[in-house]
Amino acid sequence: MKGVRKSSLLYIIPLIALLTILIFCGNVYAVIQEENGGTEVIWGHIYPPSGGTYHYHTIGYFAWTARWVTSFKQREFGYIYMGGTEGTTSWYCGGQQWWSEPSLIKYNIKVIKIKDLTTQTEYTDPSVLRCVGFVFGKVWPSGSQESEEIVNLLLDVIQGLFDYFAFPIPFKLSSSYTSVGNGWSEITVYGCGSLSKFSTNVVFNAGDAGLPDTHTYEVTCRLTWTASFIINVEGGLQGRNPIEGEGIISPESGQAVDIAYAYATMDITFTVPPS
């Protein structure tokens, strides 16, 4: 069984740099919103496999952030930014060393509702929601050029805090990014888990859905982060996870034995008046 619970804000510190990035796109005339949060990731298993008890371990930390443009005109660009980071740790169970490794973070943006503010009519039909497009998306696997300078200024402070809690800074810096395909009403991308971010421009064309382009609309999108952690252990007979119907796990030395997941979701809105 995998799950998450709320914990302290310490592990959100690596995202301070990401939250300070200024975003400019199109003729934006409203403020940019930002949200962030974090969880302690818990993983449970039976140990030892015969006659053991089901218990939990803290195997890492997951933090996320989002920023978006709250208003942009039709035929112009909006913007949504999502970031995520994974902090890993190690522990002992049954006299053996266990540890976690960051895996992937999945980013998903899905349009769930469009409201015509002029007529107060709401639309959830998929054929209508497809008038919202996510284009020119980019995913930075392990950081970004814009955040490097700020992160470097914080490294000494962050390293001290992470050393105190006996695990290393859970990211490295990189300025490379990968362009991703477009999506209509929904888009999903993947980034490396230590520290990654995803950005996409947003377009809205009322005419594509047969809606009047002289009206003002409110769009609601659901943002979802899914972080995965690889669980490793030194060699020897290990436990089993009955929740997922697994049998007894007998890994070789240092072999991965399971994957734990953490989830976060939030709804955001932005308005689209006529051009």
Residues 6 or more apart whose CB falls under 8 angstroms from that of 160 comprise none
pLDDT digits (tens, 9 = 90+) for 81-123: 998 988 899 999 888 899 999 999 999 999 999 999 999 999 9
pLDDT at site 144: 40
- Checking if the pLDDT of 255 tops 70, the result is yes
On whether the CB atoms of residues 80 and 221 are closer than 8 A, the answer is yes
Helices (H), 116-263: 126-129, 145-164
Domain that holds residue 34: 2-272
Q: 184 pLDDT band (50/70/90 cuts)?
A: very high
Mean pLDDT of all residues in 141-152:
44
Provide the strand spans (E) within 216-255: 217-233
Please tell me whether residue 274 adopts helix, strand or coil conformation.
Answer: coil
pLDDT at site 142: 54
Q: Which residue has the higher pLDDT, 18 or 196?
A: 196
pLDDT at site 162: 43
- Is the preceding peptide bond at 168 cis, omega within 30 degrees of 0? no
Domain tally for the chain?
1
